[in-house]
């Protein structure tokens, strides 16, 4: 997986809207939290200035076959999703800072290599390194933020999402300019950003360790994993939240495909898809902290999660209704039909994510009893990553089936049902008390 803050120093109180308000709220946190926010913006800036253009470089400049391009990209995704649990466990064992620094150093090497080599083994190794880097620092960053934000965890994660989305929004724009010169320049600039980030964190980020960091045996790690797998409320919550990630990912899959299905692959289609991404990112930057403050003042965390998932499911209603409208042959009517429903869907998906995300991150900490937080984040990311892969396969199959059967409403009805089903599951978990903090464990002798 995701601002208008409260008055600086007064979490939960709506204040000045916009980016300047977010910066004001940022100053109300201690230095480590401020650095983590800026770090995440920079991480996403460096990542997204390169990754959207990697496939074109591999297939165009290097002339790789399509299946080899898919292999290189797949190795990156697999090495990240498959190693999240290991990265989280290492962060709890050795501390958060070493894993954050190690991830940034590894991504520096990986991105520099992607720009300097053209052999398949080297490309695969570089791609795996960039994925492993994400598995190392992602759980550690979130666990560190949860630890240092304290009672302001929900507000901190809301602000974190603002910086997260700002990096996603700005990265491709910077990458487009650099790639216009040479993709290798993009790779080296991105690697330089991660190198600088590594140095800054080594010098400025205070050391933090997990609550249960130790240097025990391998059996101790397996025992910790067994304990997490026995945490039934956490596993049920992780499973219920898979739907949120499948739904939000459709901004990159189903929505652009629908825009191009009606609007074509020309200039209009390209602009309309860019608008989807801009609406998603800008709405989060402008509204995240205000939405969080509003929800926190009115709802319990479980109630906010239910409403967030419900909004994500309802995001596909405009697309569902649009299938009942006759498709014009050309002209403004066709453009409106191609662009407006997907844009509304992207906006509603962003709103649903704004409602749910801060409470989602906070719930994970509560369900793990504030123990082995990074390991729990790692397993959660792995579960949701597997769910995204399966969900995208099913969504793609639904899109193909809808096209062949002449039933364009099929994928949107399925995604609507998925969102409402996950909201119902979360409602059940909330009503049964399974989203509450577990009882404190007795201290070990």
Residue 49's pLDDT band (cuts 50, 70, 90): very high
- pLDDT tens for 342-388 read 999 999 999 999 999 999 999 999 999 888 999 999 999 999 988 98
Residue 193's pLDDT band (cuts 50, 70, 90): very high
Mean pLDDT, rounded, for 24-36: 86
- Contact in structure between 106 and 195 (CB atoms under 8 Å): no
Residue 321 has pLDDT above 90, yes or no: yes
| Dihedral Cα 302, 438, 375, 222, nearest 10 deg | -140
Alpha-carbon separation of residue 92 from 44, 99, 149, 160, 373 (angstroms): 23, 10, 17, 21, 7
Alpha-carbon separation of residue 266 from 172, 260, 261, 270, 272 (angstroms): 19, 8, 11, 6, 10
Measured distance CA(256)–CA(72) in Å, rounded: 23
**389 Cβ contact partners less than 8 Å away, ≥ 6 residues apart:** 81
DSSP characters over 15-31: -S-SHHHHHHHHTTS-H
**265 Cβ contact partners less than 8 Å away, ≥ 6 residues apart:** none
Supply the pTM of this predicted model: 0.86
DSSP characters over 224-279: HHHHHHT-HHHHHHHHHHHHHHHHHHTTTTHHHHHHHHHH-SSHHHHHHHHHHHHH
Residue 264 has pLDDT above 90, yes or no: no
Question: Burial, 273: exposed, middle or buried (Cβ in 10 Å; 0-12, 13-18, 19+)?
Answer: buried
Measured distance CA(167)–CA(443) in Å, rounded: 42
Residue 12's pLDDT band (cuts 50, 70, 90): very low
Alpha-carbon separation of residue 220 from 4, 224, 340, 381, 390 (angstroms): 44, 6, 54, 22, 32
Measured distance CA(68)–CA(124) in Å, rounded: 10
At 273 the pLDDT is 84
How does DSSP classify residue 406?
T
Measured distance CA(396)–CA(255) in Å, rounded: 12
Residue 16 has pLDDT above 50, yes or no: no
- Contact in structure between 411 and 391 (CB atoms under 8 Å): no
DSSP characters over 310-329: HHHHHTTHHHHHHTTSPPPS
Residue 441 has pLDDT above 70, yes or no: no
Mean pLDDT, rounded, for 253-268: 81
Around Cβ 38, how many Cβ atoms within 10 Å?
A: 15
Mean pLDDT, rounded, for 280-309: 94
**Buried/exposed 349-388: b ≥16 CB within 10 Å, e otherwise:** bbbbbbbbbbbbbbbbbbbbbebbbbbbbbbbbbbbbebb
**Lowest mean pLDDT, pick from 83-92, 137-146, 390-399:** 390-399
| Dihedral Cα 43, 164, 12, 350, nearest 10 deg | -170
Measured distance CA(307)–CA(317) in Å, rounded: 16
At 29 the pLDDT is 84
At 212 the pLDDT is 53
Measured distance CA(277)–CA(256) in Å, rounded: 10
**Nearest of 238, 244, 256 to residue 396 by alpha carbon:** 256
**241 Cβ contact partners less than 8 Å away, ≥ 6 residues apart:** 360, 380, 384, 422, 426
At 20 the pLDDT is 57
- pLDDT tens for 63-101 read 888 788 888 888 888 888 889 999 999 999 999 999 999
Please tell me which residue, 340 or 403, carries the higher pLDDT value: 340
**Lowest mean pLDDT, pick from 217-226, 274-283, 408-417:** 217-226
Question: Burial, 248: exposed, middle or buried (Cβ in 10 Å; 0-12, 13-18, 19+)?
Answer: buried
Mean pLDDT, rounded, for 294-316: 95
Residue 313's pLDDT band (cuts 50, 70, 90): very high
- Contact in structure between 92 and 375 (CB atoms under 8 Å): yes
Alpha-carbon separation of residue 350 from 44, 150, 291 (angstroms): 18, 26, 11
Please tell me which residue, 210 or 381, carries the higher pLDDT value: 381
Mean pLDDT, rounded, for 19-26: 68
Measured distance CA(305)–CA(359) in Å, rounded: 7
Question: Going from the N-terminus, what domains does the chain have, and what CATH number goes with each?
Answer: 18-218 (1.20.1250.20), 230-435 (1.20.1250.20)
At 55 the pLDDT is 84
């Amino acid at each position: 997986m995701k601002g208008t803050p409260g008055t600086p120093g007064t979490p939960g109180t709506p204040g000045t809207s916009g980016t300047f308000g977010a910066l004001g709220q940022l100053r109300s946190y201690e230095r480590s939290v401020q650095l983590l926010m800026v770090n995440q913006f920079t991480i996403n800036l460096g990542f997204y200035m390169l990754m959207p253009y990697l496939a074109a470089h591999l297939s165009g400049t290097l002339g790789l076959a399509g299946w080899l391009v898919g292999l290189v990209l797949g190795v990156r995704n697999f090495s990240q999703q498959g190693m999240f649990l290991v990265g989280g466990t290492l962060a709890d064992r050795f501390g958060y800072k070493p894993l954050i620094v190690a991830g940034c150093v590894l991504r520096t090497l990986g991105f520099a290599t992607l720009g300097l080599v053209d052999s398949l083994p080297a490309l695969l190794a570089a791609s795996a390194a960039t994925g492993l880097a994400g598995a190392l620092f992602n759980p550690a960053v979130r666990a560190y933020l949860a630890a240092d934000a304290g009672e302001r965890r929900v507000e901190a994660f809301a602000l974190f999402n603002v910086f997260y989305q700002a990096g996603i929004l700005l990265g491709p724009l910077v990458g487009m300019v650099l790639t216009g010169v040479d993709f290798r320049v993009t790779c080296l600039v991105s690697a330089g950003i991660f190198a600088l980030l590594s140095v800054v964190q080594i010098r400025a980020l205070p050391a933090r360790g997990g609550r249960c960091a130790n240097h025990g045996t391998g059996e101790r790690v397996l025992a910790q994993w067994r304990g997490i797998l026995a945490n039934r409320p956490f596993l049920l919550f992780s499973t219920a939240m898979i739907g949120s990630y499948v739904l939000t990912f459709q901004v990159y899959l189903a929505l652009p495909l629908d825009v191009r299905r009606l609007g074509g692959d020309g200039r209009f289609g390209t602009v309309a898809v860019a608008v989807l991404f801009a609406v998603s990112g800008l709405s989060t930057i402008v509204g995240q902290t205000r939405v969080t403050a509003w929800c926190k003042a009115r709802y319990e965390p479980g109630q906010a999660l239910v409403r967030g998932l419900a909004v994500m499911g309802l995001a596909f209603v405009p697309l569902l209704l649009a299938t009942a409208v006759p498709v014009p042959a050309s002209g403004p009517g066709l453009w409106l039909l191609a662009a407006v429903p997907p844009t509304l869907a992207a906006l509603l998906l962003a709103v649903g994510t704004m409602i749910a995300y801060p409470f989602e991150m906070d719930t994970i900490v509560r369900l793990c009893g504030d123990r082995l937080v990074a390991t729990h984040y790692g397993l959660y990311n792995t579960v949701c990553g597997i769910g995204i892969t399966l969900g995208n396969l099913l969504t793609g199959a639904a899109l193909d089936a809808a096209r062949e059967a002449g039933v364009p409403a099929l994928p949107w009805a399925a995604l609507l049902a998925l969102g409402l089903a996950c909201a119902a599951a979360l409602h059940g978990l909330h009503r049964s008390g399974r989203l509450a903090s577990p009882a404190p464990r007795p201290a070990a002798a």
